Structure formats: structure tokens, C-alpha cells
Amino acid sequence: QVQLVESGGGLVQAGGSLRLSCAASGRTFSSITMGWFRQAPGKEREFVTGISRSGSNADYSDSVKGRFTISRDYAKTTVYLQMNNLKPEDTAVYYCAAVFTGSNLYVPRKYSFWGQGTQVTVSS
């Protein structure tokens, strides 16, 4: 079992930055692939970025590529999402997710564990 707790959301003006954190419980951190998803009101949950178990591979949605960066700290068992040059369309609840193994990890249902979500609001 993996428990995930997100933090770091808030209100920021367009062009600003935020860093989200996702603390993972347990001693399995190096065995799990981590992802960030987001869900805006009235929209489906969408993939934002993911990072491999080794941390050597990361993938991003086209909408955030070049602005967002995912990273993981094994000592702190925490995954970070650095968000720069934020836009109003980035406004959503951001969720951290984890899975031990699987394919097509752009799909939410592929993930086994989820955090409670953290609100990010970008004003214009």
C-alpha cells in the first residue's frame, strides 16, 4: 500500500510559478512510477507528467512541455512538480498518482494509488 499526500497548491498570477510536492509513504518509493494529473471543473482528469522508477525518464503532455518539470527525491520519498510560466488554463485540482507496474501510463485508471489533490488557481 502506498499513501500519497500533496501540498503546495495555491493562487498565483499568470506568468508565476508554483512547486507541488507529493510525499509517498512506505519503503517502496523506488519501486513505483509516479505521475501528476489534473482535473478542471467539468473536464476529465488528464495526464500532466510522469517519471519512471529510476528517475531517468520523464514524459510531459504537450500543454505543459517546456514549462513544467517533474523530479523525485529518494531520500525524502517525495515527487515534485515545478510549474513555471503558469497560465489561466493550468487552473485545476492537481493529483499525484503511483503505480508499481503497467503500460500506457497516460491513462488515470492505470494508477493504483492517488493523493487527495491540491488546488492550483492561476489568475489572468
CB of 15 closer than 8 Å to CB of 86:
yes
Q: How far apart are the first and last CA of the chain?
A: 40
Residue 51 φ then ψ, to 5°: -135, 140
C-alpha grid cell for residue 110? 492505470
What is the rounded CA–CA span in Å between residue 16 and residue 39?
20
How many Cβ atoms sit within 10 Å of the Cβ of residue 115? 23
Q: Which of 24, 38, 69, 64 is nearest to 51 (CA)?
A: 69
pLDDT in tens, the chain (124 residues): 899 999 999 999 999 999 999 999 977 899 999 999 999 999 999 999 999 999 999 999 999 999 999 999 999 999 999 999 999 999 999 999 999 988 788 999 999 999 999 999 999 9
User: What is the length of the chain?
Assistant: 124
